[in-house]
């Protein structure tokens, strides 16, 4: 009994690896994300990180269906709906039925939406910079490369 489990990387012996929460990738990811979100809120309390991401992609795409916008920013259909609702409530985006496909709900940034994105994008870049601040330039690049492989 106890917290030991078999270590499949060894053979011939019955070595074990304890489960140490603080060394698990999932726990680390969660804590780094927490720190990042805190930094985001410091720099940009007007929008959530999620809302800004959707707005950024929306400004990049111009006009796009709600579902596809969700795919582009890796958000569930239920999640992207809420995010778009909140962007609409803040007059940063508008929606209308796609005349060519009655299923689709086209989303488009408003003037104010584009203005907000332009206004806040340097702050958002500052968030990235501050998040990576404990690392050297090389380390930061290495981290982004490694994370990309885990997508």
68 is a contact residue toward DNA (CB under 7 A)? yes
The CA distance from 104 to 98, in Å, is: 5
Site size for its own copies, by CB under 8 A? 55
46 is a contact residue toward DNA (CB under 7 A)? no
147 is a contact residue toward its own copies (CB under 8 A)? yes
Stretch that binds DNA, among 8-16, 63-71, 120-128, 142-150 (CB under 7 A): 63-71
Stretch that binds DNA, among 8-16, 64-72, 113-121, 142-150 (CB under 7 A): 64-72
Shortest distance, CB of residue 147 to its own copies, whole angstroms? 4
37 is a contact residue toward DNA (CB under 7 A)? yes
17 is a contact residue toward DNA (CB under 7 A)? no
């Amino acid at each position: 009994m106890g917290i030991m489990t078999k270590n499949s990387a060894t053979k011939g012996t019955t070595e074990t690896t304890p489960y140490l929460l603080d060394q698990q990738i999932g726990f680390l990811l969660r804590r780094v994300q927490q720190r990042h979100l805190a930094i985001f809120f410091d720099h940009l309390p007007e929008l959530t990180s999620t809302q800004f991401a959707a707005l950024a992609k929306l400004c990049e795409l111009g006009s796009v269906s709600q579902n596809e916008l969700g795919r582009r920013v890796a958000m569930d259909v239920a999640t992207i709906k809420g995010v778009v609702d909140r962007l609409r409530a803040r007059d940063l985006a508008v929606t209308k039925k796609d005349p060519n496909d009655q299923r689709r709900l086209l989303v488009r940034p408003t003037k104010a939406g584009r203005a907000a994105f332009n206004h806040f994008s340097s702050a958002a870049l500052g968030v990235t910079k501050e998040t990576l601040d404990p690392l050297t330039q090389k380390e930061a690049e290495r981290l982004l490369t490694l994370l990309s492989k885990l997508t």
